[in-house]
Amino acid sequence: MTTPLETAPGVRPRRLWSVRPRSDRESGDAVASNFALHWFPARSFRRSLDWNYSFWLGTISAALFLLLILSGIPLMFLHIPSVERAYLSVKDIEYVVTFGSWIRAVHRLSAHLMVAVVFLHLVRVFLTGAYKNGHGRAQHREWNWVIGVAMLVSTLFLSFTGYLLPWDQLAFWAVTVGTNIAAAIPVIGPSVRELLIGGRNIDQPTLLRFYVLHIVFLPGLLGVLFAYHMWRVRKDGGLARADQVGLAAKRVEQPPSPNKTYSLLGIARGTGPTVRATTLQAPDELVNSVPDLVRRIAIVVLGTIASLSVLAVFVRSPLEEPANPLVTPNPAKAPWYFLWLQELVASTTVRVGSFAVSGGFVGGILVPGVLLLLAAAWPFLDRTPVSAEGRWFARPRRRQNLVFSLVALGIVALILLSMYCRGPSWGFYWPWQPWPQPPTSL
């Protein structure tokens, strides 16, 4: 609906004023009046919008989560969570439903890429020290880091629960290996696994539980965590790089404003004793969120959707034979993001005579548990100065960044080792080395 001012002669219509404002006033009004844009502050720090600081990994993660929802809705209506019909329904999606194979490929690629991008996002936050509080008031960036770690764990389980739904050999045995790791927890391990799969064997209760967790509980939990995460970023003053602007800004004394007071003798003019103040000024570092921030977000989101849409045309989702508990593939591997745990389980299993060290406990529970607790607690233990916050490769953070990088690269190396160099009976084979053929009976 247009106003008389907009239709007056000589006045240009303002149909796109909320995304293409003509003044600072219109830019601020766009944020205040537009429901979608109300998420953003009226003005943002220019350095926070640089492509080479955050690489916009958080926005890419949000775009992938959006793609998972959009592509998962039609799959939810077409998939039948039954051990008798799940495989056939996925096969229909792949070969019968129009664009079904493409939708499934988009969903699968988005799930795998979201795990990788969320992991890289946390790596970026750690290496730049962005979890530390700056000079702003009421900042709680360390808690937002904890929320980020929880979002990574939720993303892993969201992808893991969806792994079983095709009910083929790849899915069945990958989930079998993954849930067996949970059974290595001391005392309560078997009970945890039984609670997770709904019994002692992976069967109909397992498929139904994973289906409900995948389409209802975990997406809802991740959505709540994401909303709080973004609200916390806004309350903390934006990205941590903005605090460096505040530290470098010049402190300018504000001139006192004249005032007047009324007394029995008349009007007394002058300045009050409490009106003098100083302020940090960095006007050159601020830009309007509309259109500068919104334009970059649109580029990242649309670019992610376009890239996944094209990639899904060439990379199809695998679908092996129907799940068969009686035929065990050799090797049976967990989903790729849990392969580092499977490698640790195999490497830490030690037997000395009658004494045995459980690799399932050491590599599957103890090591990842310690790493997860350290990751969540580290912002509260870090004592590096505020000057190192929001900076790549800051000198005071050199040692802890080195240790963190080695751990992250070690996890990636174990994943690649298990993916490409582990063959039958979990033996080591180079990628170009053929696997031995199983003997055939005459």
Name the least confident of 71-75, 126-130, 155-159, 258-262. Answer: 258-262
Name the least confident of 11-15, 130-134, 214-218. Answer: 11-15
Q: What is the pLDDT of residues 74-92, one digit of tens each?
A: 999 999 999 999 999 999 9
pLDDT at 136 over 50: yes
- DSSP secondary structure, 222-269, as one string: HHHHHHHHHHHHHHTTSSTHHHHHHHHSEEEEEPPPPEEEEETTEEEE
Residue 278 has a pLDDT of 46
pLDDT at 166 over 70: yes
Q: What is the pLDDT of residues 202-255, one digit of tens each?
A: 999 999 999 999 999 999 999 999 999 999 888 888 887 776 665 555 555 556
**Which 3 state secondary structure label does DSSP give 356?**
strand
pLDDT at 118 over 60: yes
Residue 184 has a pLDDT of 77
Closest of 292, 296, 250, 301 to residue 44, by C-alpha: 292
Cα(247)–Cα(135) distance, integer angstroms: 8
Residue 2 has a pLDDT of 47
What integer is the mean pLDDT of 186-203? 86
Residue 357 has a pLDDT of 67
pLDDT at 356 over 80: no
At 311, phi and psi to the nearest 5?
Answer: -65, -35
The chain-wide mean pLDDT, for the chain, equals 84
Global pTM? 0.85
